[in-house]
Amino acid sequence: MVKLDEIQKRLMAEVADLHKVPEGAYNLRVNGESAGRQSSENIEIVSKTDVSGLEIHIKPGTKNESVHIPVVLTQSGMKETVYNDFFIGEDSDVLIVAGCGIDNCGEQDSEHDGIHRFFVGKNARIKYVEKHYGSGTGRGKRILNPGTEVYQEEGSTVEMEMVQIKGVDDTVRTTTAELKEGAKLTVRERLMTHGSQNAVSTYVISLNGNGSSADVVSRSVARDDSYQKFDARIIGNAPSHGHTECDSIIMDRGRILAVPGLEANDLDAELVHEAAIGKIAGDQLIKLMTLGLSEQEAEEQIINGFLR
């Protein structure tokens, strides 16, 4: 990969599964600068002129192509806010892989705030994958505050996968979405916090169009002294379907607050919220122990499966 050191390469692999330069369009951002960029015939990546960030234009009808825009920070004390806008043409079908890895070995906090806006054209379909990862032994914190705004035109489909399993000290994730007629949004969130980490995830989803639907499912594990808040609000302004689910395991002294929020402004809006928080079920541990695993190994298997 283009002039990356070993740590940076490792972070790229963690957050975007990148072991070499990706195929298709990409922009690799390292310590605030572009370390490589490529547009393709159908996907154009240009820098913003007013603020730090990118504009990604995907031509109508683009199919089976991908865009990778991973970010890595290895310089302690670095703080940045980046604005990326995605313009997704009608009838296209693309994979977008973002993600941020921070390695902080220093004393100062490192922070990346990525604000992503998606303008999804009629009948377009995107899959968006965002992974967060932190490493490094420094006392400086690794902070990530992603903001995601999604604007879906008629008949569009957005599938989001958000994963944060390790090493991020502080996160405030805010996701808002507005859906027009027949648009569909699904979100799968996987979160694990350790130590004294803090993670807040807030969703505000407006189902504005007839037949629009949203499904937000969060699976999370809070260990040690960490704290999580899951706040999902779905607003049904039209005949629509909304479902949110927060399924969590607490361990040690971990704490979780799940806030249900459903607002129906239309008689035919059907909204459901489910939340379950608890420690690992004793019978699950016992079962795996009868198969020969130690209690700790059994816990690991249960957590790995849960966050799969």
Partner 1 sequence: MLELKNVSYNVDEDGGEIEIIRNVDLEIGSGKLVVVTGPNGGGKSTLAKLIAGIIKPTEGRIYFNGEDITDAGITERAQKGIAFAFQQPVRFKGIRVYDLIRIASGKRINTAEACTYLSKVGLCARDYINREINSSLSGGELKRIEIATVLARNAVLSVFDEPEAGIDLWSFTNLVDVFRKIRESSEERSILIISHQERILETADEIVVLRDGGIGAFGRREDILPGLIGTSSAVSACSRLASEGRI
| Residues at the contact surface with partner 1, assessed by CB under 8 A | 219, 247, 281, 283-284, 286-295, 301-302, 304-308
Residues 6+ positions from 267 with CB-CB distance below 8 Å: none
Q: Smallest distance from the beta carbon of 281 to partner 1, in angstroms?
A: 8
Query: What does the DSSP 8-state code read for residue 238?
Result: S
Q: Smallest distance from the beta carbon of 228 to partner 1, in angstroms?
A: 18
Q: Smallest distance from the beta carbon of 288 to partner 1, in angstroms?
A: 7
Please report where in the chains the tokens 């992603």 appear, as a residue: 146
Q: Smallest distance from the beta carbon of 19 to partner 1, in angstroms?
A: 24
Residues 6+ positions from 86 with CB-CB distance below 8 Å: 56, 58, 96, 116, 117, 118, 119, 126
Residue placing its CB nearer to partner 1 in the complex, 21 or 286: 286
Residue placing its CB nearer to partner 1 in the complex, 113 or 247: 247
Residue placing its CB nearer to partner 1 in the complex, 82 or 298: 298
Residue placing its CB nearer to partner 1 in the complex, 45 or 250: 250
Residue placing its CB nearer to partner 1 in the complex, 235 or 288: 288
267, with CB counted inside 10 A (0-12, 13-18, 19+), is exposed
Q: Smallest distance from the beta carbon of 181 to partner 1, in angstroms?
A: 32
Residue placing its CB nearer to partner 1 in the complex, 185 or 288: 288
Q: Smallest distance from the beta carbon of 242 to partner 1, in angstroms?
A: 22
Query: What does the DSSP 8-state code read for residue 280?
Result: P
Q: Smallest distance from the beta carbon of 203 to partner 1, in angstroms?
A: 21
Furthest CA-CA distance within the chain: 62
Residue placing its CB nearer to partner 1 in the complex, 47 or 294: 294
How far apart (Å, rounded) are the C-alpha atoms in residues 268 and 288? 45
97, with CB counted inside 10 A (0-12, 13-18, 19+), is buried
Question: Which of 12, 96, 1 lies closest to 54, judged by CA?
Answer: 96
At position 222, the amino acid (one-letter code) is A
Residue placing its CB nearer to partner 1 in the complex, 187 or 238: 187
Query: CA angle 49-69-177, nearest 5°?
Result: 80
16's tokens: 């975007």
The strand pairing partners of 220, in sequence order, are 191, 248
Q: Smallest distance from the beta carbon of 81 to partner 1, in angstroms?
A: 35
Kindly report the length of the chain: 308
Residue pair 75/112 in contact by the 8 Å Cβ criterion: no
